[in-house]
Structure 1
Amino acid sequence: MTEQEFLDLLARYKHGKLSGAEMQQFAQAVADGTFDDLVKEDVLKTLHEPKVSGKKGILRILTVRRYKVAAAVVAGVVAGGLSFLLLTRHSRQADITARRNVEADFPPGSHKAVLTLADGSVVELDSTGAVIPAQGNAIAQASGGQLHYQGGSSGPESLYNTLRTPRGGQYKIKLADGTQVWLNAGSSLRFPIQFHKGERTVELKGEAYFEVAKDAARPFRVKAGKMDVAVLGTHFNVMAYENEETIQATLLEGAVNVMAGNEQQRLAPGQQASMPASGHIAVKEVDVEEAVAWKNGLFIFQDAGITTIMRQIERWYDVEVEYEGAPKDIQLNGEVYRSYNLSQVLAVLKAAGLQFKIEGKKVVIIS
């Protein structure tokens, strides 16, 4: 492939006009390292240009308010002796491995989940929907990647259902009170099929974004590990994966109270409460776009370490990640579409200095 042919593919890629075969050819050319200088130039240009709606680069442009942070991190990494953007040369065997990596591809996640009913029966859900057996007088319907509960009463005792998304899956649910919940990959939500008087309580493992229906008489409570989040009606994200260092609650709209043991903190929009496995609740201002990026079809990395990034990739692409040696101590900034195949995401990370090989369903990071 000539430089001009590569630039033509790059230009068409930015406008979303590559065919499947062309996309594979383009990703392979990036992984090969033949056009390292052109890739580096594009990434640098992308980092410094204003954001243009609908335009894509090898590394999707950071928003203006993120730019100063990104520039500082780039400078810090270069000063530390490891360029954030400089592509390094490797042995012939490494190049062969890179070409094979493009062929060993994995598609992005999709709408899929498993619903466990109160009687223990299980219903498989996907984007086409499913038939949900009756439970009391409540009605549940599944279609278009969404589960919807409405009407009825479950009687004097609440009947609980559990919605679980596997790695490589996500799903949306509308609860009986009108609250909407987006469930990220590798997560579960336990909830009553009908809320009675008093609190509306659900239990979360993993990550979910909530748009809570307002009801002053019935506060909404999310139990996530050692953290409880109580609201009346608001928009917020909760991340409580067991393999993450902290539980995080991020508020986008309204107000929430975050509780853990005898501690309680009230959040304002734009704030995030985080709590490690053993420690106290800490509150800070954050960019909420990063917290809900997964819901909006993006990976957004701000000062993100390799292990943090790869945990997200494990969940979304349903792969295992291992490390040959200690992971590189670098922090990355940027945005990548979650609709990309794994090879495309790894090509972006390769442009940031990450080296890898794929063995079956395992991604091995080479330090």
Structure 2
Amino acid sequence: MNDLTSEQISRLADKWLKGTISQEEKALFEAWYNNVPEGTVEWDDDMAHSGRELREHLLQQIRERMEEKRPLTLYKRIPVRYLGAAAAVIVLMMATGIYWYTARKDQSLSTAYNKGTTIQLKPGGNKATLTLANGDVIALEDEQNGKLGQQNNTKIIKLNNGQLVYNSEQGKAGNAPVVLNTLSVPRGGKYNITLADGTVVWLNAASSLTFPAAFTGKERQVTLSGEAYFEVATDASHPFTVKVGDMQVRVLGTHFNVMAYNDEQSVNTTLLQGAVKVQSAAGEALLKPGQQAKMDHTGNVKVAPADINAAIAWKNGLFSFNNASIEEVMRQVARWFDAEIIYPDGIPQDRFQGEIDRNSDITAVLKILEASGVKFTVQGHKILVRS
């Protein structure tokens, strides 16, 4: 069971993470995991409190070995019940070359950081502003929990940091005039809002949502810029529509993600549960769970199987890359750390696959990415990327 190739191990780990691994493949993966010789990464049962904690521990082990220019092996002292977390690290290690890491003579990221420069880039957090119908702007991170205000018959309540609730008084919303509010999340931010109908929306960095304080009429309509994950409250008599530029996503009650950044090549709608119809001037598509619709800049819509884990990784506190280019990777990094990305010598052609905790500091994130051969230098709020 120990003669699996690196490619086979990587493929099995990837299937484990995506939930597509068969019982036979799962047994093979566990057998390999339980029978390889013990190595340098250890995690005793009494230390393993969660898969997330384990992943952070393993990534720290990777970083330490990279700094010391020592190879890293990942073996069986990690409890089998946390093999999913180990699989995430295995995929990243295989994809970036960390698994058989050897010392490189090129300038390393640590060299770029050892010049006394203070790193200004910080991971994102719960930051947003709320613009009311009268133009008043509320910086939510500066507000205490509790009632922030009222729009007609709807109370605006801040629960915990990063959570906003619109509570419409039952039976009165239908008589109230429509007033629009906008929740804006800057680069380096995220926020969660419960709309007046009970729909829950998670907003990613550099995103905004315009919505009525209370839904009236036959339809529920919101406008999105950037990226958001929706869990729409079921109401068959009042369809829910998300407007994104010239595109509309029309639903009754469902869970889906919309990624609509201006600097991306397409607007991606990924369906997890229920059904949605994606409409543009050039056509429309009806999605089933597990599918993704991509609308290009001409309005054409194409449907393909979705990588669900990658599509909603941001909501779960992760960067997730599936054969992603360095430009795709760095666009995510730029939004979350509010950084400017510069390619002084052209754009490297490296590809990336794996997951990284979004709460890691910028040094840790770039350290892991650098193992592929790409080099980074941080200068203030700028990240220079070279081959």
Q: TM-score range by the shorter chain?
A: 0.7 to 0.9
The residue that corresponds to 2:69 in the other structure is 35
Task: Tell me the distance in 2 between the aligned counterparts of 1:361 and 1:274.
Answer: 32
Task: Tell me the distance in 2 between the aligned counterparts of 1:240 and 1:230.
Answer: 16
My pick for the range that moved more, 237-246 or 106-115, is 106-115
- The CA deviation string for residues 295-321 of structure 1, in whole angstroms up to 9 with x for no partner, is 011111101110000000011111111
The residue that corresponds to 1:239 in the other structure is 259
Evaluate the alpha carbon distance shift between residue 9 and residue 108 of structure 1 in structure 2; reply closer, same or farther with a 3 A threshold: farther
The residue that corresponds to 1:97 in the other structure is 112
Contact between 1:181 and 1:209, CA under 8 Å: does it hold in 2? yes
Count of matched residue pairs: 339
Task: Tell me the distance in 1 between the aligned counterparts of 2:87 and 2:119.
Answer: 20
- The CA deviation string for residues 103-152 of structure 1, in whole angstroms up to 9 with x for no partner, is 62633211111000000001111395465222212111012111100124
The residue that corresponds to 2:130 in the other structure is 115
The residue that corresponds to 1:331 in the other structure is 351
Evaluate the alpha carbon distance shift between residue 50 and residue 343 of structure 1 in structure 2; reply closer, same or farther with a 3 A threshold: same
Instruction: Indicate which of 150, 163, 180 corresponds to 2:167.
Output: 150
The residue that corresponds to 1:3 in the other structure is none
Q: Aligned-pair distance for 1:226?
A: 2.1
Task: Tell me the distance in 2 between the aligned counterparts of 1:18 and 1:214.
Answer: 36
Task: Tell me the distance in 2 between the aligned counterparts of 1:242 and 1:195.
Answer: 28
Give the TM-score, by structure 2 length: 0.77
Task: Tell me the distance in 1 between the aligned counterparts of 2:256 and 2:55.
Answer: 36
Contact between 1:101 and 1:357, CA under 8 Å: does it hold in 2? no
Counterpart secondary structure, 1:229: strand
Task: Tell me the distance in 2 between the aligned counterparts of 1:53 and 1:37.
Answer: 23
Contact between 1:305 and 1:329, CA under 8 Å: does it hold in 2? yes
Counterpart secondary structure, 2:227: strand
Structure 2 gaps, min length 5? 1-39
- The CA deviation string for residues 43-94 of structure 1, in whole angstroms up to 9 with x for no partner, is xx79xx99853875696244xxxx9xx97xx5xx99xxxx996556235697
Amino acid corresponding to residue 115 of structure 1 in structure 2: L
Evaluate the alpha carbon distance shift between residue 273 and residue 91 of structure 1 in structure 2; reply closer, same or farther with a 3 A threshold: closer
The residue that corresponds to 1:4 in the other structure is none
Give the TM-score, by structure 1 length: 0.80
Structure 1 gaps, min length 5? 1-6
Task: Tell me the distance in 2 between the aligned counterparts of 1:56 and 1:338.
Answer: 15
Evaluate the alpha carbon distance shift between residue 25 and residue 193 of structure 1 in structure 2; reply closer, same or farther with a 3 A threshold: closer
Amino acid corresponding to residue 263 of structure 1 in structure 2: G
The residue that corresponds to 1:169 in the other structure is 189
CA RMSD of aligned residues (A): 3.7
Evaluate the alpha carbon distance shift between residue 91 and residue 10 of structure 1 in structure 2; reply closer, same or farther with a 3 A threshold: farther
Task: Tell me the distance in 1 between the aligned counterparts of 2:118 and 2:303.
Answer: 44
Query: Pairwise mapping of residues 273-292 of structure 1 onto structure 2 (< 5 A)?
Result: 273-292=293-312
The residue that corresponds to 1:255 in the other structure is 275
The residue that corresponds to 2:228 in the other structure is 208
